[in-house]
Amino acid sequence: MEQSKVSALPRVVIIGGGFGGVSAARALKNAPVRITLVDRRNHHLFQPLLYQVATAALTPSEIARPIRRILRHQQNVEVILDEATAIETARNRVILAEGEVAFDYLIVATGATHSYFGHEKWERDAPGLKTIEDAIEIRRRFLVAYEAAEREPDSSVVPEWLTFAIVGAGPTGVELAGALAEISRMVLARDFRRINTRRARIVLLEGAPRVLPAMAPESSDSARRQLECLGVEVITSAMVTAIDEFGVTYAGGHIPARTVIWAAGVAASPIGKTLGVPLDRAGRVIVNDDLSVPGAPNVFIIGDLASIKQSDGRPVPGLAPAAVQMGRHVARNIVHATRGEPREPFRYVDKGTLATIGRGAAVAEMGKLRLGGFIAWLAWLLIHIFYLIGFRNRILVLAEWAWVYLRNESGSRLITGDVEPLLERSRRDDEDRHRVMAQ
């Protein structure tokens, strides 16, 4: 009896365990549905703090948590580790790497990845930052760069190892630049004997005329000043034309840098293409006002994959709060649908935008309010601690931060994986270059 009742419940499939997917699942906690959440990773990631893993301030486990652990008490959810490769709306099926899964309602929350705007070969020399693996790779590169500088016999090459170029001055680029400047000047200084890590050059390149182009001009000015106080060189209106293992070339100059990080472009998850509906220029699905896919009212798109406008005509931004709001909204509309009630259109509530720059440095916009410096940073800190609720290691993260803040000491500067290939590569590159120069 119980069994047949359960299997008669509508099946909601959620693809993606990020902010949107997990919010939707939680909001359906008491709904008369069976939920299957599919993700190709086993963990939910607190992405706003990913740059702190990339700069060795936090460890991967402090900002990531198994999805099935987050949802363990919610009996109407099962979690499957698999990769969704396509959506067949006509058959109500999601195609997985292993088999397929049928749905009555589908929520697609697969987010975005970084994009090199057609220059995919730049990825080798300028990794982007979207996953825990990306963060570990960036951490490895920047820590190995100091090690390589310390043992570099050719003193003319040392400055190249100690130059870090970041392409793109959106929130991620700004956060990375500020954090790298701080760790170089404060945390690492006493660890090395031959090099002076305070001399490290952090260069932030932005194609637009100002940093944080999505924020107000006052915020951009404030952020730039705060970055420069930390010793970051900011170059705006700099369109990058080439990236290789020796640095970044832009219209107007060249930065010799052995470490380049890509924080410039974002492209929507490719699964959107399999829906066969119109996409916007960034590859996002242009959704109806209830977040459903045109022609497939039981399929919803939320988070960074959804292209939808606010009432004032501006697009809903690709931020965690927007994904959370969308997840909850779609959950509500699914409940409406199961009851035969009409659906509600989605309205984004903008609670403000924050970008942190460093210790005590940030910019914030809340409504008409513009904040900069320590107060903005305090707002950033409180909001991030608040949203880490649900992460049981919130207190540990806070302890980490307090320690780093008070002692200028960072605890997780692990280089894992093999460092030799990287050092090896640099040596081979040098040989190549010398050969080229000798020609």
Q: Given the rule CB under 8 A, which residues bind its own copies?
A: 40-43, 59-62, 64-66, 68-69, 72-73, 77-83, 97-99, 132-133, 136, 143-144, 147, 150-151, 153, 190-194, 392-393, 396, 399-400, 403, 409, 411-417, 419-420, 423-424, 427
Closer to its own copies at the Cβ: 191 or 341?
191
Query: What is d(CA 99, CA 237) in angstroms, rounded to the nearest whole number?
Result: 48
Closer to its own copies at the Cβ: 83 or 429?
83
Burial 125-162 (b: 16+ CB within 10 A, else e): bbbbbbbbebbbbbbbbbbbbbbbbbebeeeebbbbbb
Exposure on the CB side of residue 175, measured as CA atoms within 13 A: 22
Shortest distance, position 1 Cβ to its own copies, whole Å: 20
Query: What is d(CA 421, CA 251) in angstroms, rounded to the nearest whole number?
Result: 31
Report how far apart, in Å, the C-alpha atoms of 299 and of each of 15, 53, 79, 317, 325 are.
11, 34, 19, 21, 17
Closer to its own copies at the Cβ: 65 or 328?
65
Helix (H) or strand (E) holding 238: none
Closest CA to 240 of 266, 213, 208, 283: 208
The pair of three-digit structure tokens given for residue 313, joined into one six-digit string: 């005509």
Closer to its own copies at the Cβ: 11 or 210?
11
Shortest distance, position 61 Cβ to its own copies, whole Å: 4
Closest CA to 22 of 107, 113, 135, 103: 107
Helix (H) or strand (E) holding 280: none
SS3 281: coil
Closer to its own copies at the Cβ: 143 or 322?
143
Query: What is d(CA 382, CA 395) in angstroms, rounded to the nearest whole number?
Result: 13
Contacts of 264 (CB under 8 A, 6+ apart): 114, 117, 167, 168, 170, 173, 207, 240
Closer to its own copies at the Cβ: 192 or 374?
192
The runs of H, that is alpha helices, within 45-170 are: 50-54, 60-63, 67-70, 132-151, 158-161
Closer to its own copies at the Cβ: 77 or 174?
77
Query: What is d(CA 262, CA 166) in angstroms, rounded to the nearest whole number?
Result: 6
For the chain, what's the residue count?
439
Shortest distance, position 258 Cβ to its own copies, whole Å: 15
| Phi, psi of 422, rounded to the nearest 5 degrees | -65, -50
Query: What is d(CA 378, CA 388) in angstroms, rounded to the nearest whole number?
Result: 15
Query: What is d(CA 37, CA 12) in angstroms, rounded to the nearest whole number?
Result: 8
Closer to its own copies at the Cβ: 315 or 411?
411
Kindly name the residue from 62, 137, 152, 175 that is annotated as catalytic: 175
The CA dihedral of 168, 273, 79, 383, to the nearest 10 degrees, is 30
Eight-class DSSP state of 185: I
Active site residue 175: yes
Which residues form the catalytic set? 175
